Amino acid sequence: MAVAAALGSLGAVALGTFVVSLLLRWLWDALVAVTRFRATCRQLNKFPTPPWRNWLLGHTGMGQSTEQGLQQVDTLVARYRHGCLWWGLPWLPVLRLFHPSTLRPLLSASAFVAPKEKTFYGFLKPWLGEGLLLSGGQRWARHRRLLTPAFHGDVLRNYLGIFNQSTRVMLAKWGAAVVSAGGGPVEMEVLQPLSLLTLDTLQKCIFSHESHCQERPSKYIQAILELSSLVVRRQLQPLLHPWWLYRLSSDGRRFARACATVHAFTADVVQRRRRALACLGHQTWLDGHRGRSMDFIDLLLLTKDENGHTLSDEDIAAEADTFMFEGHDTTASGLAWLFYNLASHPEHQERCRQEVQELLAARDTADIEWEDLSQLPFTTMCIKESLRLHPPVTAVSRRCTEDIPLHDGRVLPKGVICLMSIYGTHHNPDLWPEPEVFNPLRFSPENSKGRSPSSFIPFSAGPRNCIGQSFAMAEMKVVVALTLSRFMLRRDTARPPPCRKPELILRAEDGIWLLLEPLVGVA
């Protein structure tokens, strides 16, 4: 019994020693964290801080995803010009940046040094997996190398027929609406049909799938639209941010069902193509595609890295789902606001129309061809100015893995969230005089000389810029050219200007409503 008592005493001493060591380790880690945070705060104090609520709440609740929130950004930019410090909570500093002097070092940093901040992007993970948008490190670098050829001009030119075809489906529906209204102008909310148009285009370009989603409901397309809506709703409900709570909610169950629908469709296409490739062999597969273009899935199945390794089915599915997500809403938003800006400035709209009509004059076909895209200089200026004034994505975030020095001696500290305000940069009066004015000539060759590339970043910039920006610009040119060749766009003066609403993309509170009037003599 004495031995047992001695062993029990030793066990108690060992347990006590273990607990004390854990406590000391925790205190040491806490001391290191506090010391590091104080050092970070000393670096952050060199950035101006707007007035806040109090020391505890900081700026919590002062930034909103509303028209008033964007006007607040205008006020911040007008006062602070280069950037400012925003406190979400006493322990959550955010650097809001809106000038090339603060943006350029961050944009030019490698994807390993300035990865995307994961708090919000994590909501997309069950849907998009480890695609380019959400992956990091060596995985991201490898996939970026392998995907880049899929967006080369020689590939994109094969998609022009799809852009034309899908646009004509939308315009035919608009024409039918005009006829139903008696032939006169008809009022229409344009973002929703433009979203269906871009989804239709992407399904054809990625999967070679004809869903007719512009003409009848598609389960797959409805699932994508529902996922986008649910992600926004979750963002606005902090109680549903933890995954375990979200899974128990009705929205969480709807999200899971929609994910299953999207994943089943994508996996089925990828697996069927993989089996066909394995059955036929690489060369026979290529011979079978001779004379017709390959879609996105084909290109990813055939791509190999420097070691001869291919992408897995899961990799391809994640990239296809990411392309569908990133490619439809952003382009639709860009087009909807472009239509709104042209409707608000009929003199610019008419100049674009004349440019298109001159291009298509004496043609056997009314399609926009690849070589035509470079022959629309003023239309391109209007697209860029609209993307400046109404960027589809208003901000992107990064969290640096090491300190990034600025040219003025300040530092973007390691671990701090950096919110790169695309909207704020595009409305900075130091970069864009009279930033609220729609002036396409800002992008004329003579006016563009000497301008920092970091002052116009609708597709971001640097190593993690949007890989699909050439695809998006080509599609926007085709859609606007064909639309202006058939319709005149006008604003309904009885309606107030739309209230902007930045979500996943820049929307309007009650939609973007325009009057569509068929051109005289156009069938």
Annotated binding site for heme: 466
Computed on alpha carbons and rounded to an integer, the radius of gyration of the chain in Å comes to 26
Q: Which residue in the block uniquely carries the two structure tokens 């930034």?
A: 63
CB 404 within 8 A of CB 411: yes
Tokens of 323: 């392309």
For residue 345, which amino acid is it? H
* Distance in angstroms (rounded) separating the CA atoms of residues 486 and 164: 13
Token digits of residue 59: 């700026």
Is residue 84 a contact partner of residue 76, using CB atoms and an 8 Å limit? yes
286 exposed, middle or buried (CB, 10 Å; 0-12, 13-18, 19+)? middle
Cβ 468 vs Cβ 326: under 8 Å: yes
Q: Using the structure block, give the residue that is written with the tokens 């027929």.
A: 161
Of 159, 155, 150, the closest CA to residue 369 belongs to 159
Residue list for the binding site: 466
Report phi then psi at 230, rounded to 5.
-65, -35
Q: How many CB atoms lie within 10 A of CB 275?
A: 10
Q: Which long-range contacts (CB under 8 A, 24 or more apart) does 168-177 make?
A: 168/482, 169/197, 169/200, 169/214, 169/215, 170/194, 170/196, 170/197, 170/214, 171/482, 171/483, 171/486, 171/487, 173/214, 173/215, 174/487, 174/516, 175/486, 175/518, 177/516
Task: Tally Cβ neighbours within 10 Å of residue 406.
Answer: 19
Rounded to whole angstroms, the Cα distance separating 415 from 112 reads 13
Alpha carbon distance 322, 300 (integer Å): 13
Name the residue among 447, 456, 466 with its Cα closest to residue 427. Answer: 456
Q: Is the Cβ–Cβ distance between 147 and 468 less than 8 Å?
A: no
3 state DSSP class of 337: helix
- Which of 427, 458, 459 is closest to 72 using CA atoms? 427
Q: How many CA within 13 A on the CB side of residue 434?
A: 7
- Between helices 250-280 and 219-235, what is the axis angle to 10°? 130
337 neighbors 388 (Cβ within 8 angstroms): no
User: b/e per residue, 373-404, with b = 16+ CB within 10 A?
Assistant: beebebbbbbbbbbbbbbbbbbbbbbebeeeb
Distance of CA 91 to the CA centre of its chain: 28
